[in-house]
Amino acid sequence: MNQGKYVFSQITDFIPKRQFERMAAEYKDRTKGWELTPWSQLMVLMYGQLEGCRSLRELTDLTTAHGSKSFHLGFGRLPVNKSTLSKANQLRDYHLFERFAYYMVNLAQDSRIDREFALHGKYYAFDSTTISLCLKLFEWAKFRSTKSGIKMHTQYDIVTDIPVAFNITNAEVHDVNAMDGIEYEPRACYIFDKGYWDLGRLFRINLLNSFFVIREKFRPKYEVTAGEDILEGDDNVLKDQTVRFTTKGNRTHYPSEIRRIVYYAPEQKRTFTYYTNNFFLGAGDIALLYKNRWKVETFFKWIKQHLQVKKLWGNSENAVRIQIYTAIITYCTVAIIEKTLNLNRSVYEVLRILSGSLLAKDSITELFTPTREPMPVMSGQLQLEL
C-alpha cells in the first residue's frame, strides 16, 4: 500500500489536508498566488521539525538538495528558498496554524481516548516552559532590561499524552496568572507544581466542582480535623489528613477543609507533601497523579530539543507562533499514528524512529516490526561433521 512512498509522505497522510485548506481559504493576504501554498508551508516546516533543522537556512538547504523529491514530499513543484519561506512565516496569519493545531489536538484525543490509564477520569497537568530569546532580535518579547523570552503555558492530558490547551505569552507573565485562563471541567482533576500555589485560585477550582492536586510550597499553619499519621503502609503514604488553615490570610482565601498527604518516594529517598480537594481517591493514587505530572515536563523537553522550538527560525512574533503551533501539529500527528497503527510505543520513541527515517520507503509499520537475524550458514565440512 505504501510501496515507493517516503516515510514523511506516509506521516502527512494522517493529516486532513482538505480541512486545513478549508481553514486556509478563510485567511486572505498578499501571499495567495504564491507557489508556496499554506499547505506546502506546513509540510516544509513539519519536515524541518522532524529532521531537527537548527535554522531556516539549514531547512531550505535540505529542501533544495532534495529538490527532485519536492513534489512527492508535499513541498510543491519547485524547491523552497529561504527568502520565500521566511516571508511566508512573517506574513501569513498564525491564527490559521493555531486553529489547525487545536483541530489536530481533538483528533489525537479522540483516537487515544481508550488508552489505558491507572485511574478512570480526566486528569490534566498544567505547567509552563520559558524559551529565552535574544533581546536585539526579539524586542517584542522583552521581559527584562537585557533579555527577551516567551512562555508556553500548557494543559497536558496525562491519560492520552496530548497537550490539549496552550497559551503563548511574554515570559514576564507569572505562572499563577495563567491559571485564570484555564477552562476548568467539572469533575476533572488538575495537577500543579508548587509554583502555582495560590489558595484563592485553588479555592475557585473547588467552587467549580473540579479537583486539584498541588505540591506544598511552604509549610502553612493548619489544624488537623481528621486523619492521623500512618505508621505502616505498602503505598509509602506517611500521613493522610484533613486540615483547615488557621492564619487569617490563608483561611480567607481557602475557607474550606483541604486534604493533606505526606508521601515518601523511595526512588528519590525524600518526602513530598500534597494538598488536594479530592477526598475520594486513595492517598497513593493522589501521589501517583502527581508523579505523572512529569509527562508535561517530558513534552516540553521533546518539543524544545527534538522538534526544534528552542532554536527559532524567525524573529517576528508571527513566525515564532507558527513554528510552535507546527510543532504541536507534528506531535499530535505522531500520536495519532502510534495509536492508529497499534505500534505500542511511546510517542517520543515513535518520533525518534520516524525522524531518522523520513526519506526511507519502508512502510511505517515495518520500521517498528523486529526482524529476525538470519541463521549463520554452516560450511560444508562442518555440516558433514555434524
Residue-wise pLDDT for 195-249, tens only, equals 999 999 999 999 999 999 999 988 899 999 987 766 556 678 999 999 999 999 9
Q: What number is the average pLDDT over the span 16-22?
A: 95
Tens digit of each residue's pLDDT (9 = 90 or more) over 310-336: 667 888 889 989 999 999 999 999 999
Residue 91's pLDDT is what?
Answer: 92
Lowest mean pLDDT, pick from 26-35, 304-313, 374-383:
374-383
Length of the chain equals: 386
More confident residue, 386 or 147: 147
Q: How confident is the model at residue 13 (pLDDT cuts 50, 70, 90)?
A: very high
Going from the C-alpha of 35 to that of each of 76, 77, 84, 337, the distances in angstroms are: 7, 8, 9, 29
Residue 385's pLDDT is what?
Answer: 55
CA distance 210 to 242: 18
Whole-prediction pTM: 0.84
Q: What number is the average pLDDT over the span 166-195?
A: 92
The residue to which cell 496552550 is assigned: 166
Q: What number is the average pLDDT over the span 14-43?
A: 91
Give percent of the chain with pLDDT exceeding 70: 87
Tens digit of each residue's pLDDT (9 = 90 or more) over 143-176: 676 678 888 999 999 988 899 999 988 888 889 9
Residue 132's pLDDT is what?
Answer: 78
Residue 307's pLDDT is what?
Answer: 61
More confident residue, 77 or 110: 110
105 has a pLDDT exceeding 90:
yes
Q: End-to-end alpha-carbon separation of the chain, Å?
A: 45
Residue 71's pLDDT is what?
Answer: 86
Residue 171's pLDDT is what?
Answer: 85
Cα torsion 126, 129, 288, 123 to 10°: value is 30
Residue 289's pLDDT is what?
Answer: 93
**Mean pLDDT rounded to a whole number for the chain:** 87
Lowest mean pLDDT, pick from 7-11, 40-44, 110-114, 266-270:
110-114
Residue 386's pLDDT is what?
Answer: 47
Contacts of 46 (CB under 8 A, 6+ apart): 11, 12, 326, 329, 330, 333
More confident residue, 220 or 116: 220
Lowest mean pLDDT, pick from 78-87, 153-162, 255-264:
78-87
**Which domains does the chain possess?**
7-97+312-367 (no CATH), 201-280 (2.20.25)
More confident residue, 67 or 162: 162
Other Cβ atoms closer than 10 A to 83 = 10
Q: How confident is the model at residue 54 (pLDDT cuts 50, 70, 90)?
A: confident
Q: Which of 80-84, 196-200, 302-306 has the highest mean pLDDT?
A: 196-200
The residue to which cell 499524552 is assigned: 161
Residue 375's pLDDT is what?
Answer: 53
